[in-house]
Amino acid sequence: MREAAEGIRERFGFGGEVEKAVPLERVQLREPRLKRPTAFGDLFSDARYERVSHALGKAYRDVVRGFRGEFENPPDLVAFPREESEIETVLSWAEAEGAAVIPFGGGTSVVGGVEARLGERPVVTMDLRRLDRVLEVDPASLAARIQAGATGPRLEEQLREHGLTLRHFPQSFEYATLGGWIATRAGGHFATLATHIDDFVESVRAITPRGTWESRRLPGSGAGPSPDRMLIGSEGILGAISEAWVRVRPRPEFKASVGVEFDDFLAAAGAVREVAQSGLHPANCRLLDASEAELTGAGSGAANLLILGFESAGQPVDGQLDAAIEISRAHGGAAGEVRKQSPQESGAGDDAVGAWRGAFLLAPYLRDTFVACGVLSETFETAITWDRLEEFHAEVMETTRAAVAEASGVPREGPGAPRVSCRFTHVYPDGVAPYFTVLAPAVRGGEVEQWDEIKAAVSEALIGGGGTITHHHAVGRDHRPWYDRQRPAPFAAALRAAKAELDPAGMLNPGVLIDP
Amino acid sequence: MREAAEGIRERFGFGGEVEKAVPLERVQLREPRLKRPTAFGDLFSDARYERVSHALGKAYRDVVRGFRGEFENPPDLVAFPREESEIETVLSWAEAEGAAVIPFGGGTSVVGGVEARLGERPVVTMDLRRLDRVLEVDPASLAARIQAGATGPRLEEQLREHGLTLRHFPQSFEYATLGGWIATRAGGHFATLATHIDDFVESVRAITPRGTWESRRLPGSGAGPSPDRMLIGSEGILGAISEAWVRVRPRPEFKASVGVEFDDFLAAAGAVREVAQSGLHPANCRLLDASEAELTGAGSGAANLLILGFESAGQPVDGQLDAAIEISRAHGGAAGEVRKQSPQESGAGDDAVGAWRGAFLLAPYLRDTFVACGVLSETFETAITWDRLEEFHAEVMETTRAAVAEASGVPREGPGAPRVSCRFTHVYPDGVAPYFTVLAPAVRGGEVEQWDEIKAAVSEALIGGGGTITHHHAVGRDHRPWYDRQRPAPFAAALRAAKAELDPAGMLNPGVLIDP
């Protein structure tokens, strides 16, 4: 940790004094307000470790509070259902007790989605990770029925036996669950076409307080508003997702990728727009600005880096990559070496693309280290149509730099100044999803207030500029003030009415999406 | 008409005696139960022609009843708003009068979506076709803001000035409107990827009795359940769609298509499955069984015909077509001549693909002729996952043949027997949308009962076999009994609650999707 701290200070010019996390045994925890029922075996737990480890998500403000041993809203009990009947048991027991129930997957929410900020109301957090099986595979339709609590590695490991893969790789992959992804409209591996888990869902099954919600397995339908699309993104307020049929695919055999450098960020964005509108459908089309490229070790910091990748299970993809490179060149891009993989030749090489991928997957694990070393790290993500991108990007970067410097009490420029960088995570014919990363010296002891101040300023810029408050991190509790302004008022009224109908006790994840 | 009748009799062995339609002046029409308000200029009409021409959709049972002058449920008034404020006027006036309001686009519903089967309740049908302008074009994002009442030709003609196209070409193209397509989840031109209008919608604006519902223009979002997806398919029960931002595209410059013949329908289906799962994304991938191919003049009736087409604005598509042909050959297909079009060479040739396209676009116009000549013509459409296709297809074909013969009082085989054929309209990696066409001798004077009997039997087979009651024709009133069994019960409860919140008087298109 000391070495990490020195490295951080040397690299960023801030952070560096190591603090120690408060150990579990020194955490002051409110006594459970619910008595653990003994009639249901080990379904409910009141163990200290479980209550603490289910009290928070993984937002920066969560990691900081966990580090300091501040668990203001621990669940009173944690339930671990093994099957749907046990989900029903948890719901009916909690309803009788007047308790709230928070469905919990991997606990990787970065938007306050699993923290029960409910004052006096007792809370049961329902951890679904024991429901972790691939129940059925349909090789003809390339679909699989998977329980909601299966984490990325668990479901991929079971699909691998059938030569199949879901290929949904958010940064939360290792811990997050299928049900959590569906409930939060998680973004994944593919930069185009199937950008969200939404696109993989063939049908969903959920347990609501008023019965089981199960849609038919259908490749497509036009029968009324899509029932699945109402559950997808419902963040646990309508029911607990128990399983889903999802579209899977054979593992890709052909891959080709390249890094393309651009001096000018907007020129690079122009290339991305043309690629996104070309119908080439790259699997990867991620643009890192120069600062982000340097941060992830993928570039020197002198140029913006566009990572282009194509993949297919059955067809060579070289032609598509060539066409995308040609488009990039026309916008001033300088392509690096093409990295290929086919059934005949395996890919290799420690280049920019590989460096970026490594950094992407490791990033979430650095956050505890950052907190210990006094570094505030946070990300903001959104989406915007192409016509507004230039102004929007400039405005959000400017607002973020100013807000971070102000909240951190440091100058905006020069040695030790905060780092603000941008990448594009997903691209569309009509727009793009920009993703902003912030690194700044933490205000020791005041990190949460510092974070809240930055979060509010940036969120104002996102909403004021016409973007969405979230492209794939979800709404939870932290995004509520801006989400409430973004969504159509009659839709909010409709959603409230729908919830009141299915969950008249208002027990399911209260405070998320709509008021408790 | 006499010549047509002779041709029909010669070709099918049934039909042929020409009846004459009841002329407008001989139609017995209920007196309007609402007095036309005079304070709003020409906003409301009680003209006989308008009331009659807005009384029915275009289902076979509608065409028959119109032909016979049977208009049981004419609207009392027809409103023609020119702007949103007039939509609001219509809603508030109707609410005060206790009247129902039926939003009306092109009137091309084939599922009873625009017929007010409401007994004593007075009805205003609100025709939105005066709202027919393309209001704004965003060439950077390839998106356009279009009023809901614009028909296919109207919106394409305005987009053409910008070198753009929506390329949504259902059979209803000439009459149907953008708002109608969105309200009913219409299927369109593309056999893969953007199969429904759903996929083109960037944001929607609708007038509800409790305020304006407008979503943000976003290329993608993860902020709660999608508000757009709740309006898309709502069939007018939540609000009247007034305009939408939709994704458009440059006109395709490169096209390539081919007809591939297969002796065996299931072998052809295997080829379609592999193409659908290949990631090649054909624009057209329509399989016509031998009978359907013969019916449309695209084939001799000896072979099943797969029509494959690719198109792109910027890239040659020959490679993709070649790959799809290769897949087809591996499944026993014999490819015809490839038809190509590029900026350099223009396409031509009167081949199977062209014959099919011509027949597709003309088919709806034949229906009045069929009715006059005593031919029952109807289509049924659904979607099913690949694993169930073989059994499902056999069962639905068998049930349909039996039901049609029984209801028509003719033998199932031999000269003069009914025609039942199948095509695939849209394909997915996990399944397909089969579309069934029925031609049979009409029971003169008893066509509606004959139709109802067939409809019920086929719908039972679709729902019993695990399909959807509609892939893109919508639910309306005719599909209700089967839709009610298909959708998840808690979703139905949520939808009812949402409607009650936004439309407490239950005035908007009562009886569609949920009970009045």
> In chain B, what residues touch A220 (CB-CB under 8 Å)?
195-196, 383, 426, 428, 431, 433, 471
Nearest to A231 by CA among A220, A247, A243: A243
Determine if residue B75 is left, alpha or beta; phi over 0 gives left, psi from -120 to 50 gives alpha, anything else beta. beta
Site of tokens 């280290």: A369
Distance of CA A127 to the CA centre of its chain: 18
Is the pLDDT assigned to residue B346 strictly greater than 70?
no
Is the pLDDT assigned to residue A345 strictly greater than 80?
no
Q: Do B384 and A219 touch (CB under 8 A)?
A: yes
Phi and psi, residue A479, nearest 5° = -95, 0
Is the pLDDT assigned to residue A346 strictly greater than 70?
no
Q: Do B494 and A502 touch (CB under 8 A)?
A: yes
Query: Residue B225: which of A234, A319, A323 has the nearest Cβ?
Result: A234
Q: Which residue of A has its CA nearest to B275?
A: A314
Beta strands in B318-405 (DSSP E): 334-335, 339-341, 375-381, 384-385
Is the pLDDT assigned to residue A342 strictly greater than 60?
yes
**pLDDT digit string, tens, across residues A359-407:** 877 888 888 999 999 999 999 999 999 999 999 999 999 999 999 999 9
Q: Do B433 and A220 touch (CB under 8 A)?
A: yes
Nearest to B269 by CA among B327, B230, B354: B327
- pTM score of the predicted model: 0.97
Q: What is the mean pLDDT of residues A344-357?
A: 68
Residues 6+ apart with CB under 8 A from A89: A40, A43, A81
Beta strands in A368-462 (DSSP E): 375-381, 384-385, 419-428, 431-441
The helix or strand, by DSSP H or E, that contains position A455, with its residue range, turns out to be helix A447-464
Is the pLDDT assigned to residue A489 strictly greater than 90?
yes
> In chain B, what residues touch A218 (CB-CB under 8 Å)?
383-385, 431, 467-468
**pLDDT digit string, tens, across residues B95-118:** 999 999 999 999 999 999 999 999
Q: Do A230 and B491 touch (CB under 8 A)?
A: yes
Q: Do A219 and B431 touch (CB under 8 A)?
A: yes
Q: Do A428 and B219 touch (CB under 8 A)?
A: yes
Picking from B141, B166, B281 by the largest number of A CB atoms within 10 A of its own CB, the best residue to mutate is B141
Contact B299, B260 (CB under 8 A): no
Q: Do B466 and A500 touch (CB under 8 A)?
A: no
∠A45-A49-A54 over CA atoms, to 5°? Answer: 75
The encoded tokens of residue A167 equal 């290929």
Is the pLDDT assigned to residue B347 strictly greater than 60?
no
Please report the DSSP string for A107-171 in residue order: S--SSSSS----TTS-EEEEE-TT---EEEEETTTTEEEEETT-BHHHHHHHHHTTTEE-----T
The encoded tokens of residue A273 equal 């727009």
Q: Do A226 and B223 touch (CB under 8 A)?
A: no
**pLDDT digit string, tens, across residues A176-213:** 999 999 999 999 999 999 999 999 999 999 999 999 99
Query: Residue A500: which of B220, B234, B497 has the nearest Cβ?
Result: B497
Q: Do A218 and B467 touch (CB under 8 A)?
A: yes
| pLDDT over 90, % of chain A | 90
From CA B325, how far away is CA B258, in angstroms rounded? Answer: 8
Cα-atom radius of gyration of chain B, to the nearest Å? 23
Q: Which residue of A has its CA nearest to B433?
A: A220
> In chain A, what residues touch B486 (CB-CB under 8 Å)?
216, 223
**pLDDT digit string, tens, across residues B457-475:** 999 999 999 999 999 999 9
Q: Quick one: pLDDT at residue A298?
A: 87
∠A62-A68-A74 over CA atoms, to 5°? Answer: 55
> In chain B, what residues touch A212 (CB-CB under 8 Å)?
488, 490
From CA A124, how far away is CA A38, in angstroms rounded? Answer: 15
Q: Which residue of B has its CA nearest to A246?
A: B430
> In chain B, what residues touch A193 (CB-CB under 8 Å)?
193
Nearest to B437 by CA among B294, B306, B258, B305: B294
Lowest average pLDDT, out of A251-260, A325-334, B342-351, goes to: B342-351
**pLDDT digit string, tens, across residues B64-85:** 999 999 999 999 999 999 999 9
Q: Do A140 and B386 touch (CB under 8 A)?
A: yes
Q: Which residue of B has its CA nearest to A188?
A: B222
Q: Quick one: pLDDT at residue B362?
A: 81
Contact A500, A493 (CB under 8 A): no
> In chain A, what residues touch B109 (CB-CB under 8 Å)?
none
Is the pLDDT assigned to residue A115 strictly greater than 60?
yes
Is the pLDDT assigned to residue B356 strictly greater than 80?
no
Picking from B190, B203, B218, B495 by the largest number of A CB atoms within 10 A of its own CB, the best residue to mutate is B218
Q: Quick one: pLDDT at residue A350?
A: 52
Q: Do A212 and B490 touch (CB under 8 A)?
A: yes
**pLDDT digit string, tens, across residues A438-464:** 999 999 999 999 999 999 999 999 999
Contact A427, A264 (CB under 8 A): no
Please report the DSSP string for A9-37 in residue order: HHHHSS-----PPPPGGG---PPPSSPPP
Determine if residue B142 is left, alpha or beta; phi over 0 gives left, psi from -120 to 50 gives alpha, anything else beta. left
Q: Do A213 and B490 touch (CB under 8 A)?
A: yes
CB pairs under 8 A between A and B: 295
Q: Do B473 and A222 touch (CB under 8 A)?
A: yes
Please report the DSSP string for A250-282 in residue order: EPP-EEEEEEEEES-HHHHHHHHHHHHTTT---
The encoded tokens of residue A272 equal 């991305």
Amino acid at A216: R
What are the percentages of helix, strand and coil residues in chain B, rounded to 5? 35, 20, 45
Query: Residue B222: which of A218, A467, A473 has the nearest Cβ?
Result: A473
Q: Quick one: pLDDT at residue B224?
A: 98
Lowest average pLDDT, out of A313-322, A455-464, B201-210, goes to: A313-322
Query: Residue B184: which of A222, A233, A431 has the nearest Cβ?
Result: A222
From CA B368, how far away is CA B22, in angstroms rounded? Answer: 13
Q: Do B502 and A486 touch (CB under 8 A)?
A: no
pLDDT, averaged across chain A: 95
Q: What is the mean pLDDT of residues A140-150?
A: 98
Label the pairing between strands A164-165 and A249-250: antiparallel
The encoded tokens of residue A185 equal 């409209």
Q: What is the mean pLDDT of residues B320-325?
A: 97
Cα-atom radius of gyration of chain A, to the nearest Å? 23
Q: How far does B155 lie from chain A, in Å, by closest CA?
A: 19
From CA B285, how far away is CA B290, in angstroms rounded? Answer: 16
pLDDT higher at B358 or B90 = B90
> In chain A, what residues touch B428 (CB-CB under 8 Å)?
219-220
From CA A90, how far away is CA A127, in angstroms rounded? Answer: 11
Q: Do A216 and B468 touch (CB under 8 A)?
A: yes
Query: Residue A223: which of B187, B386, B469 has the nearest Cβ?
Result: B469
- What separation in angstroms does the CA of A313 have from each of A165, A254, A280, A343, B6? 11, 6, 16, 10, 54
Query: Residue B475: which of A211, A223, A278 has the nearest Cβ?
Result: A223
Q: What is the mean pLDDT of residues A259-286?
A: 97
Q: Quick one: pLDDT at residue B369?
A: 92
Q: Predicted ipTM?
A: 0.97
The helix or strand, by DSSP H or E, that contains position B330, with its residue range, turns out to be helix B318-330
- What sign has the CA pseudo-torsion B209, B211, B212, B214? negative
Q: Quick one: pLDDT at residue B95?
A: 97
Stated length of chain B: 516
Q: Which residue of A has its CA nearest to B200?
A: A430
